[in-house]
């Protein structure tokens, strides 16, 4: 069997490995309110600064995509059952 033929064999017992997407570093100026939000996530979730920023960006991306791109309504329901809609203008 040639090397080419060996390269085409797939071991079904091993999961396929997907390369990680490239990481990009950014520098961003943030307001004191944003720092407070980051610090709140760090304290409440016991995560690093980097992970707190990643989570907040993820939450924001969910809100943005839901409301702006998909034109859907995002509803927040409090512990007492009170609801409010998130609207991005």
pLDDT in tens, 2-50: 555 555 555 566 677 788 888 889 999 999 999 999 999 999 999 999 9
- Look at residue 21 in the predicted model and tell me its pLDDT: 83
54 occurs within a structural domain: yes
- Look at residue 22 in the predicted model and tell me its pLDDT: 87
Is 59 a residue whose pLDDT tops 80? Answer: yes
- The total domain count for the chain is 1
Tell me the residue ranges of DSSP E strands in 1-89: 74-77, 83-86
β-pair partners for 74 = 86
21 occurs within a structural domain: no
14 occurs within a structural domain: no
Q: Exposed, middle or buried: residue 52 (CB in 10 Å: 0-12, 13-18, 19+)?
A: buried
57 occurs within a structural domain: yes
In which domain, by residue range, is 34 found?
Answer: 26-86
- Look at residue 1 in the predicted model and tell me its pLDDT: 53
φ/ψ of residue 69, rounded to 5: -80, -45
């Amino acid at each position: 069997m040639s090397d080419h033929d060996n390269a085409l064999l797939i071991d079904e017992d091993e999961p396929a490995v997907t390369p990680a997407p490239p990481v990009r570093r950014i520098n961003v100026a943030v307001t004191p309110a944003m720092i407070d939000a980051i610090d709140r996530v760090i304290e409440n979730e016991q995560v690093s600064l980097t992970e707190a920023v990643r989570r907040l960006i993820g939450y924001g991306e969910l809100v943005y995509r839901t409301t702006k791109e998909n034109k859907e309504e995002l509803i927040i329901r409090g512990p007492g059952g009170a609801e409010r809609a998130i609207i991005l203008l």
